[in-house]
Amino acid sequence: MTTPSNHLEAAFEERRRQIETALDGALPAEGAWPATIHHAVRYSLFAGGKRVRPQLVLAAGEAVGGKSSDVVPLACAVEMIHTYSLIHDDLPAMDDDDLRRGKPTCHKVFGEAIAILAGDALLTRAFQVMAQTPPSLEAERVARRLRVVALLGEACGTTGLIGGQVTDLESEGRLVSAEELERLHRAKTGALLGACVNGGALLGGATGADLQCLDRYARAVGLAFQVVDDLLDATEVAEQLGKTAGKDAAARKATYVSVHGLERARAMCGGLLEEALLALQPLGERAGMLAFLARLIVARRA
């Protein structure tokens, strides 16, 4: 029997394949000159990520009745930006990690210099992909694309991903308040996830009311994602996570587990999921995949 959940699982798998193909097409070929950098970029991008961010882009576009072709460039761009941030986060100067996505980190395989450049290459390529509009694209769609480029720049910048990372590095070994921690998480993780949902919706042609619902959803899911990450780091092993476990406690990092404790952090996740699902209600069935993704994010084990 086909249930709504079977149907969503099948659509999720189908989209995962679509994302892999689009990412492959959005990069220079493996052996293209200069080959080392393209090997490194492809090594990290195709190392087995869950592709949550591109899935959110596609689902947000669908929730507002947009066409898949309108949102695929953003789906590729956010995964490239996310992978760049992981490569740089793993560097000796930052988290100094040997394992990512179940494989040796980029700098372990290619050396630090090439890993830095692979991150830079992915970030640059992401904005190139967003800016490459076909000549036949209507002016209105080009304008939306430009708005989303600005949104994406903000999400990656000093008040988003980079700001969150700076605050994270500065929080090691010191007491952090619950408010500071929420701000850090919203910047480090929530900003890019927010750009996936809001950007996907804008490219899909969302109007004011839909955008408000989706922004509320994005804020809840963005925070839930990082709370779950903190829980997993404290409770799972490296084989399950595909990255080193227990790093937060070892580095005396402020996390939802260290600040609130395991039980409260779990309860917060439940509350954030409820908030995310509530936010989607006005969108009805079109938001089915976004609801599926929120549940998946909270229930994930890696």
Contact residues: ligand GRG, CB under 6 A = 49-50, 52, 82, 85-86, 88-89, 101, 161-162, 165, 188-189, 226, 229
Name residues whose C-beta falls within 8 Å of residue 270's C-beta, 6 or more positions apart in sequence. Answer: 298
Rounded to 5 degrees, φ, ψ at 259 are -85, -40
Cα distance between residue 59 and residue 242, in whole Å: 26
By beta-carbon proximity to ligand GRG, the closer residue of 198 and 226 is 226
| Shortest Cβ 106–ligand GRG spacing (Å) | 12
By beta-carbon proximity to ligand GRG, the closer residue of 115 and 202 is 115
By beta-carbon proximity to ligand GRG, the closer residue of 165 and 171 is 165
By beta-carbon proximity to ligand GRG, the closer residue of 49 and 194 is 49
| Shortest Cβ 255–ligand GRG spacing (Å) | 9
Name the residue with the smallest CB distance to ligand GRG. 49
Cα distance between residue 73 and residue 68, in whole Å: 10
| Shortest Cβ 121–ligand GRG spacing (Å) | 14
Contact 294, 217 (CB under 8 A): yes
CA angle at 157 for the pair 224 and 78, rounded to the nearest 5°: 60
Of 125, 142, 128, 18, whose CA–CA distance to 82 is shortest? 125
Tokens 């939306």 found at: 144
According to DSSP, residue 301 is labeled: -
By beta-carbon proximity to ligand GRG, the closer residue of 49 and 66 is 49
Contact 262, 287 (CB under 8 A): no
| Shortest Cβ 2–ligand GRG spacing (Å) | 28
Tokens 């995964």 found at: 79
By beta-carbon proximity to ligand GRG, the closer residue of 258 and 286 is 258
| Shortest Cβ 65–ligand GRG spacing (Å) | 27
| Shortest Cβ 259–ligand GRG spacing (Å) | 15
